């Protein structure tokens, strides 16, 4: 939530900052703003709404040229999405400009204290207190090297809550400082063609990926000073030096472009066969065994596990629901799945022999991070399934399994989800392998099934035109219901979530067996009902029961949209629309059945004229609780 960018170096700062904001806009689009420092004076421009509004303002009233600047794209928390509340915020003396991501929980107290000195506030934000405090503390800090960083440390020590702050001071034309507690921030270190050093700050690496792939991770409660000639200096809040971890970003700039697609979401849907293949790459051994060297838990630790919790939010939680079916079936270890925001507040029973699997595409979701910390405090082992390298969640976990989906820019998760599901299969199967609860040939047979998944997803994608056509027909629907059973139930939940968030249509997912216990009352003449049908070949088949459910809703006037595997003829008489998917083993069916639901939601939203990549009220990475 909220995108932050900073730059100091030889290039025109405004262009670099705006380019970074363009790449980070998915983090929030309630307003955007920039500040640059030129001839000892700070100039700002800010505007409510999307970045395009700010760009219009800048075209009419350009800012002075500068080689140091900061920028922000906002997801509003304190104060509405207005010009006034847009970042950067300036101190009363106009000397300090600051941008912020997070929530400063003691801001009311600090604001009262500052107002008591006669300072007037010009916004309703929590952030503005930092601008005033920083200016005041700077005045009292002895002049010399590192003065702004020293002031930032002193201010950070007074703040409660979560924050990434980036600030610049009119008297320090060569310095940017940033502070981080519980909100994301990465540093980019680059060099122009003539060998001049340049420094970047971003909420994630997408902000500077067009300039450098060399990055530094910042830990909790750390302050970084980026100085044009002295380079990057990191300390903790007390001022003790810290040696930051450097890493190379393995995404390239092209991966974060639309590549000719009208929406990032469409591109990301199309990338799913590759993303699934990349997530499996190097993890399936030649003789049919799993090779998960990066899971840094010993075999003994994995053998000692007697309970698994899967904890995540939103779409990642749906991946967790699917994980339960696979892990329990393959390992016989009990699995509980819970949304992260509930998990830690109900005192879950955890100990050393509990494995907590946290799933997060961004690696920065605050609810999931807090759940992870709670689990570790209780001595549970934590394994993260994550897509973003160097993010907080994998850094704080005992073990990590990266999905290799590449950057996911559209706010609605698609390839992130599919690769999370695949990573869950890998975890489940690896546990079964280490614990010896499956014969080698059984594991090898499942590994073969996994190898076939990318091709199966590609096949689904080839047949999406009728789904798009259906999407255009359904664009005026008021309610769409989704039914599924067994692993089809989480798929139904995911289909409903995609539709709600993109098309703003009321949608609900149900376990098909629950239908008669209430939800069927919602069905009316013409109500579209999407049914995810399990394979007729599965042993404990619920197929027949779901076919009956289709008939039940149809008898009450529903327009049935049936997703069924090739060769399933039982559904044909009751399907108003039939969407075929390739035959897939029961547990792996979600990898193919989810795809048409993504396409359907995308097409309905597009037909309704909505911004598919940036749905209203949402942000890609939810970094506040």
Name which of 168 and 315 has its Cβ closer to ligand F6R: 315
Name which of 249 and 622 has its Cβ closer to ligand F6R: 622
Name which of 19 and 25 has its Cβ closer to ligand F6R: 25
Name which of 339 and 475 has its Cβ closer to ligand F6R: 339
CA distance 417 to 420: 5
Rg of the chain on CA atoms, in Å:
26
Name which of 376 and 577 has its Cβ closer to ligand F6R: 376
Q: Minimum distance from CB of 380 to ligand F6R (Å)?
A: 19
Yes or no: say if 561 and 554 are a contact pair by the CB < 8 Å rule: no
CA distance 109 to 133: 12
Percentages of the chain per state (helix, strand, coil), in multiples of 5? 40, 25, 35
- Ramachandran angles phi, psi of 152, nearest 5°: -65, -40
Name which of 397 and 413 has its Cβ closer to ligand F6R: 413
Give the ranges where 70-220 is alpha helix by DSSP (H).
Answer: 107-115, 128-140, 147-158
Helix or strand (DSSP H, E) at 224: strand 222-227
Q: Minimum distance from CB of 193 to ligand F6R (Å)?
A: 36
Q: Minimum distance from CB of 399 to ligand F6R (Å)?
A: 17
Q: Kindly report the length of the chain.
A: 625
Name which of 26 and 430 has its Cβ closer to ligand F6R: 26
Question: Chain centroid to CA 36: how far?
Answer: 29
Count helices and strands (H / E) in the chain: 19, 24
Residues that bind ligand F6R (CB under 6 A): 313-316, 360-362, 365, 368, 412-413, 497, 501, 621-622
Q: Minimum distance from CB of 412 to ligand F6R (Å)?
A: 4
| Angle (CA) 154 158 162, round 5° | 110
With both helix axes pointing from N to C terminus, report the angle between 590-607 and 488-503 in degrees, rounded to the nearest 10.
20
Q: Minimum distance from CB of 521 to ligand F6R (Å)?
A: 28
Q: Give the closest residue to 51 by CA, choosing from 81, 72, 78.
A: 72
Known catalytic membership, residue 2: yes
Among residues 2, 313, 386, 424, the one annotated as catalytic is 2
CA distance 276 to 52: 34
In the DSSP assignment, the letter for residue 582 is: -
Parallel/antiparallel/unpaired status of strands 175-181 and 96-104: unpaired
Name which of 43 and 365 has its Cβ closer to ligand F6R: 365
Is the preceding omega at residue 88 within 30 degrees of 0, hence cis?
Answer: yes
Parallel/antiparallel/unpaired status of strands 245-248 and 214-217: antiparallel
Using Cβ positions, the residue closest to ligand F6R within the complex turns out to be: 314
Name which of 167 and 375 has its Cβ closer to ligand F6R: 375
Q: Give the closest residue to 264 by CA, choosing from 619, 623, 614.
A: 614
Strand, coil or helix: 61: coil
Q: Minimum distance from CB of 327 to ligand F6R (Å)?
A: 19
Known catalytic membership, residue 386: no
Yes or no: say if 433 and 290 are a contact pair by the CB < 8 Å rule: yes
Q: Give the closest residue to 496 by CA, choosing from 618, 270, 314.
A: 314
CA distance 364 to 4: 14
As to burial, measured by CB atoms within 10 angstroms (0-12 exposed, 13-18 middle, 19+ buried), residue 518 is exposed
Among residues 95, 324, 498, 620, the one annotated as catalytic is 620
User: Which active-site residues does the annotation give?
Assistant: 2, 620
């Amino acid at each position: 939530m909220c995108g932050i960018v900073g730059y100091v170096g030889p290039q025109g700062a405004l262009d670099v900052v705006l380019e970074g904001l363009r790449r980070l806009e998915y983090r929030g689009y309630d307003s955007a703003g920039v500040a640059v420092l030129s001839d000892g004076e700070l100039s700002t421009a800010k505007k409510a709404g999307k970045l395009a509004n700010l760009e219009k303002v800048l075209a009419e009233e350009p800012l002075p040229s500068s080689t140091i600047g900061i920028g922000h794209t906002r997801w509003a928390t304190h104060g509405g999405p207005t010009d006034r509340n847009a970042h950067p915020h300036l101190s009363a003396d106009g000397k300090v400009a600051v941008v912020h991501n997070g929530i400063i929980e003691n801001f009311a107290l600090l604001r009262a204290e500052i107002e008591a000195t006669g300072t007037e506030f010009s916004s309703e934000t929590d952030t503005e207190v930092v601008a005033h405090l920083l200016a005041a503390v700077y005045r009292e800090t002895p002049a010399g090297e590192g003065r702004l960083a020293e002031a930032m440390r002193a201010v950070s020590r007074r703040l409660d809550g979560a924050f990434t702050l980036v600030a610049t001071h009119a008297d320090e034309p060569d310095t940017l400082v940033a502070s981080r507690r519980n909100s994301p921030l990465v540093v980019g270190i680059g060099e122009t063609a003539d060998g001049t050093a340049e420094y970047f700050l971003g909420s994630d690496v997408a902000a500077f990926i067009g300039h450098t792939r060399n990055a530094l991770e910042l830990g909790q409660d750390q302050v970084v000073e980026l100085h044009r000639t002295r380079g990057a200096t990191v300390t903790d809040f007390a001022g003790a030096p810290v040696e930051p971890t450097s890493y190379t970003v393995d995404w390239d700039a092209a991966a974060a472009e639309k590549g000719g697609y009208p929406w990032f979401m469409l591109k990301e849907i199309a990338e799913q066969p590759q993303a699934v293949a990349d997530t499996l790459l190097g993890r399936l051994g030649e003789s049919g065994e799993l090779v998960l060297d990066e899971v840094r838990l010993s075999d003994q630790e994995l053998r000692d596990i007697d309970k698994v919790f899967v904890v995540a939010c939103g779409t990642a939680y749906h991946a967790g629901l699917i994980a339960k079916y696979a892990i329990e079936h393959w390992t016989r270890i009990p699995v509980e799945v819970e949304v992260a925001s509930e998990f830690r507040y109900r005192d879950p029973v955890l100990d050393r022999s509990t494995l907590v699997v946290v799933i997060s595409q961004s690696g920065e979701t605050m609810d999931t991070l807090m759940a992870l910390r709670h689990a570790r405090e209780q001595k549970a082992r934590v394994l993260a399934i994550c897509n973003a390298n160097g993010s907080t969640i994998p850094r704080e976990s005992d073990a990590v399994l990266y999905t290799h989906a590449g950057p996911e820019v559209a706010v609605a998760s698609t390839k992130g989800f599919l690769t999370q599901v695949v990573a869950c299969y890998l975890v489940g199967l690896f546990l079964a392998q280490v614990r010896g609860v499956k014969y080698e040939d059984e594991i090898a047979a499942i590994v073969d099934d996994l190898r076939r998944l990318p091709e199966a997803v590609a096949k689904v994608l080839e047949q999406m035109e009728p789904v798009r056509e259906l999407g255009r027909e359904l664009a005026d629907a008021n309610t769409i219901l989704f039914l599924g059973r067994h692993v089809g139930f989480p798929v139904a939940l995911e289909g409903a979530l995609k539709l709600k968030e993109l098309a703003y249509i009321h949608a609900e997912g149900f376990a098909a067996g629950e239908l008669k216990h209430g939800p069927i009352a919602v069905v009316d003449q013409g109500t579209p009902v999407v049914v995810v049908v399990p394979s007729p070949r599965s042993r404990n088949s619920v197929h027949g029961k779901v076919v009956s459910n289709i008939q039940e809703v149809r008898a009450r006037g529903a327009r049935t949209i049936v997703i069924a595997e090739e060769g399933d003829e039982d559904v044909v008489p009751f399907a108003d629309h039939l969407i075929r998917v390739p035959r897939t083993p029961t547990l792996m069916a979600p990898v193919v059945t989810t795809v048409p639901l993504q396409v359907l939601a995308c097409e309905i939203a597009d037909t309704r004229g909505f911004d598919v990549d940036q749905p209203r009220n949402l942000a890609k990475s939810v970094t506040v609780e």
